[in-house]
Chain A
Amino acid sequence: MTTATGSAPAPLLRRILLQGKYEAATMLRNGEQLILAVVLPLLALIGLTVTPLLDGMGDSRVNIAVPGILALCAMSTAFTGQGIATGFDRRYGVLRFLSTTPLGRAGLIAGKILAVLAVLVIQLVIVAAVAFPLGWRPDPLGVLPGLCLLVLGAAAFTALGLLVAGTVRPEATLAITNLLWILLGALGGIVIPMQRLPELAQNTVHLLPSGSLGEGLRDAFLHGAVNGNAVLVLLMWTVLAGAAAIRWFKWN
């Protein structure tokens, strides 16, 4: 074997990009993750456009449905998908091993965020490709704020997913993130707009990351408006969950 001298790390940016690429590829190769990230949101989109669930809300079914589907995509990938993957990586010692390489803990987290964003871009392209033929016409003024809000929502859900994955057993992470995906997706103001929920729920849902992301995206893509409240609530969740994850995340 050759003599060991002069080992050095690859540049920081390259390490993070590599990890992001590796994690994104791992997510896209995993069948269950693909169902969660692509198949279920598309089924929900088609379901909402062929049923009268969203009728009488002042716009076409598909225009009201798509922002919620995008919010659902963000929750699938950032919260449930990344949460489960991280939980099991933690169980198998993968997080600990990678944190001894030049990647380190910070690089590992950065790579995970990058992977979430990469998968989100793919979801966005697929949802758009299905939604345009169905008649989706977003407000042009709302596209940029909408995409920014989607990234902020992904950040909040990633922080929450890592918080769950880093504090409980992976089996519990699996149960919690899947259950919340269903509950928040259906009743948390994501695919079903807030005004269609019971009055009691309306008062709390706009404080949830799900409700604020769903409503914020609908305001952007339907009316070209920036929902300041939604931005504030999502920022608050990102900061609180991020700080809690940093404080309580157990690496082993």
Chain B
Amino acid sequence: MRSPKSPVLTIDGLIKDVGPLPTLDGKMLRVVSDVSLVAGRGEVTALLGANGAGKTTTIECAQGLQKRTGGTISLLGSDPGTAGAELRARVGVMLQDGGLPPSARPIPLLRHIAGMYRNPRPLDELVQRLGIDSFSRTNVRRLSGGQKQRLALAAALIGNPEVLFLDEPSAGLDPQSRQLVFELISELRDSGMGIILTTHLMDDAQRLADYVYIIDAGRNVAEGTVAQLLQHNMPETPHRDHVRTLHFEALPGLDFTGVLAAEIQIRETRSGSYTATGALTPADLAALTAWWAHHGIMPGSLSMEARSLEDVFLDISGREIR
């Protein structure tokens, strides 16, 4: 685990059992078996994982919403399981399902929540910034998914928190709202807020996160900056930052043994569809095209891209659907 200059949240060896469940003959189910992480001030820390990996349970334990079974959690130096209003005032929470009363109107609701804090953020500024003024007279139940999400973000920020938890922040956001929310998150990070978000969208993590923890089946499986994770499990070569994924389509059943550098294999993922991932060099590309020329092969399609976080994630957690 890394050690940021100014940690706001430290989770060590978190365990969470739920149940007893009738579907398991009354036994407990361990949804988080070993998660550890550190999140720093002025950083966006992302918990990345498939649905059901234990991300939400982890941050709900950190928010004090769920009681942990084992491990330790320190949020701004206190145990969120026992802390009181002083700690809650310093922490903003945006839940996955919003948590907004359907019959409420946005402005009175935000004003009500602001009243719970001694020095809330100016309401007008937030309302304007998140574009809430355009639907300020509409009941929560009539808002679109993106409008609800922006209102929930405003509700999490109204108390002027030092730490912000965002559970799947881009769920239901249209592209414009997403842009708006992402810009705001970056700005808040730059202003010194410690932001912890969960997401199953690799693109969110890639765009927003300073540091990523990949969670799978209730435990950490990998961590690092996005740049570090993109090199995950890649051999130490001078070309490590040239990690690319190459796709092309050609005749089925071709044998590319020995064409590229030894550590890069070309796999036939479907009949006639080939993929190679690794630290490709210009020499590798030259060798491949020369091989095609020599054998008179013209690929039906050809593309190359930088290895994405999604590729890393699938390599780590497996490609099969669970």
Contacts and interface: CB of A to CB of B under 8 A. Distances in A.
Contacts of A107: 85
B91 to A, nearest CB: 7
A102 B116 contact: yes
Size bracket of the B interface: 35 or more
Contact of A7 (B101, B102, B159, B191): B159
Nearest to A15: B116
Nearest to A95: B99
Contact of B97 (A12, A92, A103): A92
Contacts of A103: 85, 116
B172 interface: no
A7 B95 contact: no
A7 B64 contact: no
Interface string B265-293: 00000000000000000000000000000
B115 to A, nearest CB: 5
Residue of B115, B117, B193 with highest tally of chain A CB at under 10 A:
B115
Interface in B144-175: 152, 155, 159-162
B160 A22 contact: no
Contacts of B85: 9, 12, 15, 102-104, 107
B189 to A, nearest CB: 10
Contacts of B117: 7-10, 102
Contacts of B63: 100
Interface in B92-138: 93, 95, 97-104, 112-113, 115-119, 121, 125, 129
A7 B119 contact: yes
Contact of A4 (B98, B102, B193): B193
A124 interface: no
Contacts of A93: 95, 97-100
A101 B116 CA distance: 7
Given A26-B103, A92-B102, A4 B115 contact: no
Contacts of A96: 65, 95, 99
B89 A97 contact: no
A5 B162 contact: yes
Size bracket of the A interface: 35 or more
Interface in A70-125: 88-89, 92-94, 96-104, 107
A172 B140 CA distance: 24
A21 B161 CA distance: 25
A101 B113 contact: yes
A97 B155 contact: yes
B287 to A, nearest CB: 52
A1 interface: yes
Given A7-B160, A9-B89, A15-B115, 10 more contacts: A1-B188, A4-B192, A7-B119, A15-B116, A29-B103, A92-B99, A93-B98, A96-B95, A102-B89, A104-B85
Interface of B: 63-65, 84-86, 88-91, 93, 95, 97-104, 112-113, 115-119, 121, 125, 129, 152, 155, 159-162, 184, 187-188, 191-193
Q: Which 9 A-B pairs have the closest CB atoms?
A: A97-B99, A93-B99, A100-B93, A9-B85, A9-B89, A8-B118, A102-B85, A93-B97, A102-B116
